[in-house]
Amino acid sequence: MSTPETDVGRIGEDPDAFETFYREHLDLVQRFVARRVTDPHLAADLTAEVFLAAIDAAASYRADRGTPAAWLTGVARNVVAAEFRRQKKDKDAVRRIAGRRLLDPDSLAAIESRIDSARESRRLYDALASLPRRDRALMELVAVDGLSVTEAAAVLGVKPGTARVRLHRSRARVQSHLTPLEVQP
Amino acid sequence: MNTFEQSLLTELREHVATRTPGPVRPTRSRRWRWAALPAAAAAAATAVAVAMWGPSAAYAVDESGDDVVVTVYRLDDAEGLEQALRDHGVAAEVDYDPDVSADPADSDGGTLDTGTGPEKGTEVHGPTGDDPGTGSAPKIETSLSEDAFTLRLDRDAIPEDQILHLTTMGSVEDGLSGLRIMWVPAS
């Protein structure tokens, strides 16, 4: 979760810098998406959307506020949340790059496998629906995505101490789902 | 990488190579001057107006307790501010277009009357299309200082089905500009 050498500020203007960033974080993005959606075609679209959003937002990255991976996780959260809002409104998405168009049978199978592997994580993700939105976001990052409390706090822009308090409260509310999981310090 | 991952990389590289970076606006050394206080802060649309003598900084988005705090130092990098707000869970559209009309007919939820000069700034009224008494919109607290304009949003009151719109009107070059702050339903 830490690639401090990445020059995020240049990924919006330098294809080589972007490729380095892409190779470093592709797995992170694909796993993040697979823990939240079950349709492989939508997963392909969202993977493309996350990187497009990162390219657009590259200038806003601040190294003193977190690692590139933490920042990209925040971008991915926003992209997936926007997709869910769009689905609720039953609107067709207009995508700049339709990731599903790039899928071949082997790539599709790989995404399906990744989605299948994330089944338990998605069950937990769904179980967090009862939490307030702010607490849910924190629990997602820690319990579903495996970030440390400090990393998740950086993604959400809160202090680690505040995050620990919220996590403690949230764990009590969904104890039955979270008992088997380790919360990293 | 598999075929999909390689193909996506190829398309994204091409996108990076051909995209046009956002315009870089010149930095000025003159400071804000506030000419009016916010009105209708708890109404369905919140509107404030500011008069300023040119920008000198940029923006900041931070958290304070349960609030998201937005500080605007100068009218620059609207997309960066949008992204910063999204990073803090706030869907927003920011428009720093000096050509945006101040005609009340163009307003989505309120009316705006401009003043007669940079010294007087702008005068803003609350929304006209909504019942101010409904109180359905999230509360926005505003504060003004010599150098910045600050919005404080109660995070727990931010709805998922509305977008925060920040729109400036007028021209910094003319020494007068307005800033309209509204919540509008996501479409």
Tell me, what CATH number does A179's domain have? Answer: 1.10.10.10
Q: Answer yes or no: are the C-beta atoms of A138 and A184 closer than 8 Å.
A: no
- Is residue B69 included in any domain, yes or no? yes
Question: Would you say residue A152 has pLDDT above 80?
Answer: yes
Q: Mark whether A98 and A19 lie in a shared domain.
A: yes
pLDDT at A107: 85
Which of A78, A83, A85, A111 to mutate to probe the B interface, most B CBs <10 Å? A78
pLDDT at B186: 66
Looking at the partner chain, which of B4, B15, B91 has a beta carbon nearest the beta carbon of A104? B4
Q: Mark whether A112 and A123 lie in a shared domain.
A: no
Continuous H helices in B88-178: none
CB-CB under 8 Å, B9 with A102: no
Question: Would you say residue A57 has pLDDT above 90?
Answer: no
Q: Mark whether A63 and A98 lie in a shared domain.
A: yes
CB-CB under 8 Å, A137 with B15: no
Which of A117, A144, A164 is at the close of a domain?
Answer: A117
Specify the amino acid at residue A178. L
Which of A3-17, A24-38, B86-100, B103-117 is the most confident on average?
Answer: A24-38
Chain A CB within 8 Å of residue B157 CB? no
Chain A CB within 8 Å of residue B5 CB? yes
B112 band by pLDDT with thresholds 50, 70 and 90: very low
Q: How far is B82 from chain A (nearest CA, A)?
A: 9
Q: Mark whether A70 and A109 lie in a shared domain.
A: yes
**Interstrand relation of B67-72 and B59-64 (parallel, antiparallel or unpaired):** antiparallel
Q: How far is B158 from chain A (nearest CA, A)?
A: 10
Q: Answer yes or no: are the C-beta atoms of B152 and B143 closer than 8 Å.
A: yes
Domain that holds residue A96: 1-117
- Is residue B81 included in any domain, yes or no? yes
Tokens standing for residue A87: 């689905």
- Is residue B126 included in any domain, yes or no? yes
Which of A64, A87, A117 is at the close of a domain?
Answer: A117
Chain B CB within 8 Å of residue A75 CB? yes
Residues of chain A neighbouring B8 (CB-CB closer than 8 A) = 44, 47-48, 51, 97, 99, 102
Specify the amino acid at residue B87. D
Q: Mark whether A55 and A106 lie in a shared domain.
A: yes
| Average model confidence (pLDDT) across chain A | 80
Tokens standing for residue A72: 């990209």
A99 vs B177, higher pLDDT: A99
Q: Answer yes or no: are the C-beta atoms of B123 and B36 closer than 8 Å.
A: yes
- Is residue B175 included in any domain, yes or no? yes
Please state which of the ranges A6-15, B26-35, B168-177 shows the lowest mean pLDDT: B26-35
ipTM for the complex?
Answer: 0.72
Number of domain units in chain A: 2
Number of domain units in chain B: 1
Q: Mark whether A133 and A105 lie in a shared domain.
A: no
- Is residue B176 included in any domain, yes or no? yes
Three-class secondary structure of residue B135 per DSSP: coil
Three-class secondary structure of residue B144 per DSSP: strand
pLDDT at A90: 61
Q: How far is A158 from chain B (nearest CA, A)?
A: 7
Q: Mark whether A61 and A104 lie in a shared domain.
A: yes
- Is residue B156 included in any domain, yes or no? yes
Find the helix or strand (DSSP H, E) in which B165 lies. strand B162-171
A140 band by pLDDT with thresholds 50, 70 and 90: confident
Question: Would you say residue B127 has pLDDT above 90?
Answer: no
Q: Mark whether A97 and A108 lie in a shared domain.
A: yes
Q: Answer yes or no: are the C-beta atoms of B24 and A59 closer than 8 Å.
A: no
Q: What is the CATH number of the domain that holds A28?
A: 1.10.1740.10
A103 vs B132, higher pLDDT: A103
Tokens standing for residue B152: 């404080």
**Interstrand relation of B110-114 and B122-127 (parallel, antiparallel or unpaired):** antiparallel
Q: Mark whether A37 and A60 lie in a shared domain.
A: yes
Specify the amino acid at residue B112. L
Tens of pLDDT, residues A63-93: 877 788 888 988 898 888 888 877 766 656 6
For B30, residues 6+ apart whose C-beta sits below 8 A from its C-beta are B53, B54, B55, B56
Tens of pLDDT, residues B24-53: 433 333 333 333 333 333 333 333 333 333
Strand ordering across the sheet containing B162-171: B32-33, B45-52, B176-185, B162-171, B92-95
- Is residue B31 included in any domain, yes or no? yes
**What distance in Å separates the CA atoms of residue B43 and residue B139, rounded to the nearest whole number?**
8
A52 band by pLDDT with thresholds 50, 70 and 90: very high
Q: What's the mean pLDDT in A101-122?
A: 82
Count the neighbouring beta carbons within 10 Å of the beta carbon of residue B133.
Answer: 9
Q: How far is B64 from chain A (nearest CA, A)?
A: 9
**What distance in Å separates the CA atoms of residue A11 and residue A5, rounded to the nearest whole number?**
13
DSSP string, A34-103: HTT---HHHHHHHHHHHHHHHHHHGGG--GGG--HHHHHHHHHHHHHHHHHHHHHTTPPP--SS-GGGG-
Q: Mark whether A73 and A158 lie in a shared domain.
A: no
pLDDT at A30: 93
Looking at the partner chain, which of B4, B13, B91 has a beta carbon nearest the beta carbon of A15? B13
Which of A70, A102, A117 is at the close of a domain?
Answer: A117
Domain that holds residue B54: 25-185
* pTM summary value: 0.49
Q: Mark whether A22 and A103 lie in a shared domain.
A: yes
A15 band by pLDDT with thresholds 50, 70 and 90: very high
Q: Mark whether A135 and A107 lie in a shared domain.
A: no
Looking at the partner chain, which of A13, A23, A82 has a beta carbon nearest the beta carbon of B16? A13
